[in-house]
Amino acid sequence: MTWEFIQPWMYSLLFGSMALLIIGNNYYALLTEKSPSLTLFIGAVFLAIAIGVAPIENSFYFVWVALLIDPSVYLLSRRK
């Protein structure tokens, strides 16, 4: 593997890993019925950025999938 192959994927992997941590925390809060963190929509935003900057042709059309994966809308409506 060369640097020219790895470089376009760096931002996508960085934002994707941050989204994985935040969305995983949101699912944990959903399953254990604990109060969610204050970073509710940040996971969806990071995942949308990761999908948008991925070096795959027409990947920008699938940015909306991030909103379907993140349970932050349900957690926000459940918050008191």
DSSP symbols for 2-39 = -HHHHGGGHHHHHHHHHHHHHHHHHHHHHHHTPPPPS-
How far apart CA 78 and CA 17 sit, in angstroms, is: 26
Below-70 pLDDT ranges, the chain: 1, 36, 78-80
Q: Which domain holds residue 68?
A: 3-78
What's the confidence (pLDDT) of residue 41?
83
- pTM higher than 0.85: no
**Token couple for 17:** 């890993």
| pLDDT at site 26 | 85
pLDDT score, position 25: 87
Rounded Cα–Cα distance for residues 61 and 38 (Å): 28
Q: Which residues, 6+ apart, have CB-to-CB distance to 54 below 8 Å? A: 9, 12
**Tally of structural domains, the chain:** 1
